[in-house]
Structure 1
Amino acid sequence: MAVQIPRLLLVILGAMFLQQTCAALGRNLPSIIAPAIITDLGLDPALAGVYVGLAAAASLFFQMGCGGFILRWGALRMSQLALVMLAIGLAAAAVGPLFFFALSAIIGGGGAAVSTPASSHLLGRYSPPKQAPLVFSIKQTAVPAGLLLSGLVGPWLTAWLGWRATLEIAALFCLVFAVALQPLRATFDNDRMPGRAFKLSDLWLSGQVVAGSPALRNLAFACFAFNGLQTVFIGFFVIYLVHMGHGLATAGAVFSLAMVVAVPARIFWGWLGSGHVAPRVLMGALSLGMAASTGLLGLSGTGWPLALFATVAIGISLTAMSWHGVLLSEAARLAPKGMSGAATGGVLSSGQLGALVLPLTYALVLSLTGQHGWGFAACGLPALVVGLALLRRPALPD
């Protein structure tokens, strides 16, 4: 029997898919075209890790504090705000000096951070509980779609127009879609609480929701490892391939190939987690896959053919780039009533902590050893711990 999908769910799923595509493009494009920026400005490649770390620090703050603002102004309005912030961040990076790159990381990282809790709040309202992992996974395929755009179009535009114009075009794209969402606001922000007074404690609302639930705390620990490793892969894989002697366009194509694989993988894991396999078991298996794939990169070297790098990248994409729908739907399911945005924001805040700590760990390993592969292997260790813990005992309710 065919599943009847509510019309409003289809509308908001499509809108949030495009919103998340813009968010992924806006946050990650500077990292994808970083080799061109580094060469043009004569920068140390390790500064890419500082950029990613600053973005993660900003994301941590914004995701911790966005729950109260979602309740007051509505998740769709916050989605628009997120897109405007991403546009400002990209425009700041196009200016060029290091101060503006720092500004870009903070503003753009904050915008990307708000986008996911806002979209999760909306989908949590309209998704049937049993289909939630699949619905969230479909929405989250927008992230590899945005990364695919970054990996294919970013290097091409950079070669044609330069890296500054590439960032400016992406900024305009985010701004236009923020305006395009406006007609949907009356329908989808009808649960907002405009009379809700702002309190300083609202900045920590998401953290309080997660801290009060052992199951959400366990999800937060998993998100730390998953999101941190994902951030390392996005931030450094293209740089690593260029370091190994491959051109930027070739490295971007390999990265994009991996992102293509993540699209069906996210949908498949979401379907598998929708009543076929317990989300705890599924996330445990994905954790071990992440650790194994990054461990293989730790063994890589100049003798590796490009096809082998591509194979490992696909392995990372199948795992570290494909867990989102399962984890986010669990966070929404376990959240107190009306608190889906706050719960997912709190869980993702832990992920942003991972996105802060692991890229800086990678940069430290690279600075000490000069080995990119060792950096990937070191950043895969938290995923190994999470995988063993999830498969050893029922840390999450099935």
Structure 2
Amino acid sequence: MDQTVQTGSGRWQVHIVFVLIATTFVGAVSAASGYLVPALAVATKETLGVSAAFIGYQVTLVFGVGGLSSLIAGGIVGRFGPCRVLQAGLTLSGAGCLLYAVPNTIVVTAGSVLIGFCYGMSHPASSVLLSRFGSQERLNFLFSFRQSSTALGAVIAGILGPVLASILVWQWAFYGLAIFSILLAIAINHLRPHWDDQADPKTPISAPWAGLRLIILNRKLLTLCLTGFCLSVVQVGVLAFLVLFVVEDVGFTMTQGGLALSLINILAVGSRIFWGWQADRTRNSLVVVTAMGALTTLTVLVFSAADSQWPQWLVFCTMSVLGLATFGWSGIVIANVVRRADQDKIAETMGGTLGFFFSGAWVGPSVGSLILQFTGSFSYVFMFLALMAFIATVMAGFVALRND
């Protein structure tokens, strides 16, 4: 991973190590803005005088708009360049955080929309940079490392957000992230000559659905994206219901529930990097995704049986396995999509791919909430998530068997 980039330039701005760290850092800042919304849900609810459902809708809005923005960003990277798209995303994040701090439900909703746009824009741009400057033999690790930014952003939001809220007021967490996002957008401007040198103002902006069309017309790409959709349902579904489940059914305190959520996210960072590294050591990286899917299916089923009779060490051990198994898939799936995609259409293809992923992030909590409403049991919710993990395992295994 320490090779000089293929362009022949030894400039540090295009060295893959710097590109990887920079895109991961930008992704973590972008993700933190989205995860601040649920992290400060209680304080926001009390200030606005709204129900918990209103905050839940804001979280859904962030993910929904994120999926839409990934489709749009995929079509504009070619014209403006990946660095300019990253700058635009950070600027939208800053504006969204400022709006979200205003104690008005309409303005807060507008802030959620802008935060969602930022959340989805960074992925297609980063994918173009990593595929351009990175080694093909290290794509699983590169994309997995980059994808760890989502979990890292969640950890940052979950730790720093409540701390700032307790020292000052909750709005200052959004103010601080807004200022930092805008300053970061300005700071990376000097990278444009190196990152956006292939941008062409005459490049037509492809339609938002262009990436989806490319995927639907390619059976293997479609199977990979559906695998990612199912695993995204499981991943976000676990995050959405974990704290409620361990507090209401397992007997944890709210503090212990928060600790459990932090543990899952911290393990998610490490698991993505580990599984990405392992996938590059394996001749067929999708075998790794298949194994993770099978382990996730089994672990979710075991976790669904947890109750107040379980010792806490066993609950935490099960959650640890869940964190290691459930969150490492995205970088490997993305790397496989990039390998099979038209190299001139990577941004569009990644936009469509992220559309599938974000749709799964929306479906997981939504369907899970409906199941919980009709059955009143978290066990049925986790059974649904286990079923989705099993379907993903079968699809990943199918593509792995036809490795070409």
Query: TM-score normalised to the size of structure 2?
Result: 0.88
Alignment pair present for 1:105 and 2:112: yes
Contact 1:132–1:329 (CA under 8 A) maintained in structure 2: yes
Counterpart Cα distance in 2 of 1:184 and 1:306: 49
Deviations 1:339-375 (CA, angstroms, capped at 9, x unpaired): 2222122111111111122211122223334444543
1:290 corresponds to which of 286, 296, 300: 296
Contact 2:224–2:399 (CA under 8 A) maintained in structure 1: no
In structure 1, the partner of 2:284 is 278
In structure 1, the partner of 2:9 is none
User: What is the CA distance between 1:104 and its match in structure 2?
Assistant: 3.0
In structure 2, the partner of 1:220 is 225
Q: Which amino acid aligns with 2:373?
A: S
Contact 1:49–1:359 (CA under 8 A) maintained in structure 2: no
Q: Which amino acid aligns with 1:83?
A: L
User: What is the CA distance between 1:74 and its match in structure 2?
Assistant: 0.5
Contact 2:35–2:158 (CA under 8 A) maintained in structure 1: no
Task: Specify the SS of the correspondent of 2:209.
Answer: helix
The within-5 A match list for 1:46-65 is 46-65=53-72
1:206 corresponds to which of 211, 228, 237: 211
Alignment pair present for 1:14 and 2:13: no
The within-5 A match list for 1:178-327 is 178-198=185-205, 201-241=206-246, 249-304=255-310, 306-327=312-333
Query: TM-score normalised to the size of structure 1?
Result: 0.89
Alignment pair present for 1:26 and 2:25: no
Contact 1:230–1:320 (CA under 8 A) maintained in structure 2: yes
Among all aligned residue pairs of Structure 1 and Structure 2, give the percentage whose two residues are the same amino acid.
Answer: 24
Task: Specify the SS of the correspondent of 2:207.
Answer: helix
In structure 1, the partner of 2:175 is 168
Contact 1:232–1:355 (CA under 8 A) maintained in structure 2: yes
2:136 corresponds to which of 122, 126, 129: 129
Q: Which amino acid aligns with 1:342?
A: E
Contact 2:228–2:392 (CA under 8 A) maintained in structure 1: no
Report the number of matched residues.
395
Counterpart Cα distance in 2 of 1:59 and 1:28: 13
In structure 1, the partner of 2:358 is 352
5+ residue gaps, structure 2: 6-11
Q: Which amino acid aligns with 2:149?
A: A
Task: Specify the SS of the correspondent of 1:159.
Answer: helix
In structure 1, the partner of 2:90 is 83
Contact 1:291–1:377 (CA under 8 A) maintained in structure 2: no
Contact 1:255–1:313 (CA under 8 A) maintained in structure 2: no
User: What is the CA distance between 1:380 and its match in structure 2?
Assistant: 3.5
Tell me how large the CA RMSD over aligned residues is.
2.5
Q: Which amino acid aligns with 1:354?
A: G
Contact 1:299–1:373 (CA under 8 A) maintained in structure 2: yes
5+ residue gaps, structure 1: none
User: What is the CA distance between 1:53 and its match in structure 2?
Assistant: 2.4
Alignment pair present for 1:73 and 2:80: yes
Counterpart Cα distance in 2 of 1:49 and 1:292: 29
Q: Which amino acid aligns with 2:204?
A: A
Counterpart Cα distance in 1 of 2:30 and 2:56: 19
Deviations 1:132-173 (CA, angstroms, capped at 9, x unpaired): 111222222222222221222222222222322222222222
Alignment pair present for 1:144 and 2:151: yes
1:334 and 1:355, CA in 2 relative to 1: closer, same or farther beyond 3 A?
A: same
In structure 2, the partner of 1:339 is 345
